């Protein structure tokens, strides 16, 4: 993996982690329950898509 791709991978992966962390933090507020669930789902999707995207690029 090139240096630029490593940086992009780290940024996208951390973005997913931040989404999940923000969603977990929002779970403590009853009025923000659905937004918390959406943030957690987006974070998991971001991480899975990032892992899949860079795995496919390495196989080419």
Comparing 16-20, 26-30, 46-50, 56-60, which segment has the lowest mean pLDDT? Answer: 56-60
pLDDT of residue 13: 93
pLDDT at 8 (0 to 100): 86
pLDDT at 60: 45
- Do 21 and 47 touch, CB atoms closer than 8 A? no
Q: How far is CA 28 from CA 15, 20, 21, 24, in A?
A: 21, 14, 12, 8
Look at the pTM and tell me if it is higher than 0.85.
no
């Amino acid at each position: 993996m090139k240096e630029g791709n490593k940086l992009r991978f780290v940024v996208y992966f951390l973005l997913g982690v931040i989404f999940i962390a923000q969603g977990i933090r929002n779970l403590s507020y009853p009025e923000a329950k659905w937004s918390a669930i959406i943030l957690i789902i987006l974070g998991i999707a971001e991480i899975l898509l990032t892992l899949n995207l860079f795995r496919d690029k390495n196989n080419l």
